[in-house]
Chains A and B, each alone.
Chain A
Amino acid sequence: MRSRFNPRRLGRREFLGSTAAAAALATTSALPRIAHGAKTVKIGFLAPLTGEVAAWGLPGLYGCEIWAEQVNASGGINIGGESHMVEMVSYDNEYAPDKARTGAQKLIFEDDVKFIMMLGGDTWPAVQPVANKARMLVSTLLPSDLTPDTPFLIAPCEVHPIYNVTGVEWLAENKPDLKSAVICAQDDSLGRPSVATYLAAFEAAGIEMRDDPLFFDLSTTDFAPVVTKLLSSNPDILCLDTCYADYVHPIVEQAFIQGYKGQIISCTADFYEQMIEKTSAEFMEGFIFQFPDFDDPALNDPRINFADPNAFYAEYNKRWPGEWSAVSWEYASILDLWKAGVEATGSVDPAKVLAGMKAGGVGKHAFGPARWWGKELFGIDNALVGDWPVVVIEGGKARIKEFKSIPAWWDKHGDIMIKHFTEMGEMYHQRA
């Protein structure tokens, strides 16, 4: 039956014509709105926008778009006394090395970007020779990509997975009766260094591991046996390491189904509202992770360097309701640091900007003053490390409980971390 909303049949030519017009319109409307004639500086965004790792790419791009609009609305970036508008150029690398290399070449040689932001991980090794040859400044969210051979790669925001020590430290201080743990992770370049970090943090806190870490393959879809194995040793703490959101959700759901009553700690809890819906507010109460919602009142503290986090969060949720994730603010906060480096040096030259960002060995991390660090663990001081928040779900809402110092933990327990990184084969000299 012909729909009453379709009074005449659409011809093939009309269909093709209208589709092409719609595509053209979509393309042009997607272009950033930049004042005519204004000078622009382009920034590359090379991360997974589709596929199973997209949750750690796409929400970050959304955040960058808000950042760029806000910067442009306030006059742009001052480079050597001249105002430049910011233009974000993205490329979906699908978390594949070949796509990442192609994307890096496009961004550098066709789009003429002055800075590239990446998630890192599996995609970085294919980009490394391209970036090194072009002397392009690149940021990663995964400092485990850093080695002495990566002078232009920086980790200025997320010092994954080192900040996970703060959650365990807080847990040990506030729930000292919890004395045993189990841990699982996907078997990849995010999961393994994170497991080494958690093992070090548990050891430093005097928490016993009930079993060896359980690594599951990325193609795992049935988590019932995984959770059954984990819970079989009756641990006080179930640690979900740095599992992707696609794994955290079914694992938590399984733990709920299998009647687990203990503590859960995780690096992330992206889209935790959905987990609460699938389980219960009571079950999720006390869930510890590391990534705050930016409407948290604790982020209004004067030491926070991220500009007006509450307004950013509100704007983000207005545009993309329910899409807030661990990375929504991270790439934007990296842009803050890069902008400060550019304005301080009056140049977009990668070497100069890097020197400007690292001046004095300190920097303004989103969560407060921080220092450039990493020589002992990564072979190069290209990670910006300071305080990191410990976030707990209370009454169905994520709340920052405390900011804890990563450098302070490292000064006390760095040797334990190096021991576990070495055992896991994650030290920089083992990764070459």
Chain B
Amino acid sequence: MPDAVGSRGGGGGGKLAYTLIGLVLLYALLIVLPHLVSFSQKEILVFLTINVLVVVSYRLLTLTGEWSLGHVVIMGVGAYGSGLYAKALGVPVPLAMLLGACTAAAVAFVLSFPLFRMKGFYFLIGSFAAGEIIRLLWKRFREPFGGPKGLKLLPSFPDIEIGVVTISFFDPVNYYYFCLIVVSVSLFILYRLERSRIGLTFHAVHWEDRLAEAVGVNTWRLRTLAFVTASFFAGLAGALLGHYLTTVNPNQFDVEQMVFVLIWVIVGGTATFYGPILGVVVLTVINEIVLRGLGVDQARPLIYGAILVATMLFLPQGLESLVPKAKALFTGRRPAAPQGQRAGAE
């Protein structure tokens, strides 16, 4: 996918054609992929697809300059919300998923009032505290949240019958395709939002918030918009996860999981739309496929940590910084830094 905010209008039809060809090839690969991997890797593919939505939605929040430690808990709000709507109220699962995402967005909206009184490091700590409060509420109230054990036996996504053919979403391949569609539509919306005037203003709020305010931009409203939108999609990811596992519990959304999201985003890079996607894909493949394949289960945290340290040392601008270099190799031109890095340098 093209850079986040760069190249509008530049390059013209040729660039668009390349982009379209690239997307067609990418989706051809994504459609064939589950048939090329082992059964357990199909499972990993489902979780990876869901996590792509988590990191991209997280990046939307970072566009306004705020880093949250509550994003995974917000994802959990979507999972719990969707699970409860479907299990306790009998709402059809697809609708419950949307309602779960809306609940996550609504919770984020409420949280935005205290949280956006803070900025930077204080926002980070505030978001962590807010997330922990929500997580502890799930633990404290057995009704309706199930307490420490959480909710189980949640309804799965319903099977679809087309004539004599039944599509079961218990099958990881079918659920992967479903996730792929949901996540693709979500990414398209997030991408268009970022490329819109509002998205460009997010950048202004990040880099020059005082100047933006001086020209009449309501920075609080824009930060809230980014937070609520990111939370909606994080909640949707949580709903996708909850109805696949048919269980949710508070420990799934603890700070350790949040650290993983941060690592994926930081290692991938946040200057481009594809940076966090690169991070989550590469690190998941290394951790779940390569290291497990080597039979070094117990050494995985050690090796994973070493890879992270090496990435920080040798790729301080994230994996996304490799993409312009790779492009340059093909075109023979000098590599250009991703847009966000240029903006940062300026």
Contacts and interface: CB of A to CB of B under 8 A. Distances in A.
A92 B295 contact: no
Interface in A94-116: 95-98, 101-103, 105-106, 109-110
Interface in B248-269: 249, 251-252, 254-255
A129 B295 contact: no
Contact of B142 (A125, A126, A425): A425
Contacts of B247: 97, 125-126
Contact of B148 (A95, A98, A192): A192
B246 A129 contact: yes
B157 to A, nearest CB: 12
B296 to A, nearest CB: 7
Interface in B279-330: 288, 292, 294-298, 300-301
B294 A23 contact: yes
A50 B298 contact: yes
Contacts of B170: 129, 133
Given A26-B295, A50-B298, A125-B152, A110 B245 contact: no
A74 interface: no
Interface string A184-201: 000111011000000000
Contacts of B148: 187-189, 191-192
The A contact surface, by secondary structure, is helix
Contacts of B139: 187, 217
Contacts of B255: 219
A105 B40 contact: yes
B212 interface: no
Contact of A23 (B38, B42, B254, B296): B296
B294 A98 contact: no
Interface in A380-432: 425, 431-432
Contacts, number: 101
B335 interface: no
Contact of B297 (A90, A95, A109, A110): A90
B43 interface: yes
Contacts of B142: 425
Interface string A31-55: 0000000000000000001100000
A351 interface: no
A126 B246 contact: yes
B27 interface: no
Nearest to A96: B252
A125 B243 CA distance: 12
Nearest to A29: B295
Nearest to B142: A425
Chain A CB count within 10 A is highest, among B40, B47, B136, B241, for B40
A188 B38 CA distance: 34
A218 B256 CA distance: 11
B228 to A, nearest CB: 26
Contacts of B295: 26-27, 30
14 contacts: A23-B296, A26-B296, A50-B297, A96-B252, A98-B241, A98-B245, A106-B43, A122-B149, A125-B153, A126-B245, A126-B247, A149-B153, A188-B251, A432-B152
The 5 closest A-B pairs by CB, nearest first: A106-B40, A125-B247, A125-B152, A102-B43, A92-B297
Given A102-B40, A110-B39, 14 more contacts: A26-B296, A49-B298, A50-B297, A98-B241, A102-B288, A105-B172, A109-B40, A126-B247, A128-B152, A129-B170, A188-B251, A192-B148, A219-B254, A431-B149
Interface of B: 38-40, 42-44, 47, 136, 139, 142, 147-150, 152-153, 156, 170, 172, 241, 245-247, 249, 251-252, 254-255, 288, 292, 294-298, 300-301
Interface of A: 23, 26-27, 30, 49-50, 58, 90-92, 95-98, 101-103, 105-106, 109-110, 122, 125-126, 128-129, 133, 149, 187-189, 191-192, 217-219, 425, 431-432
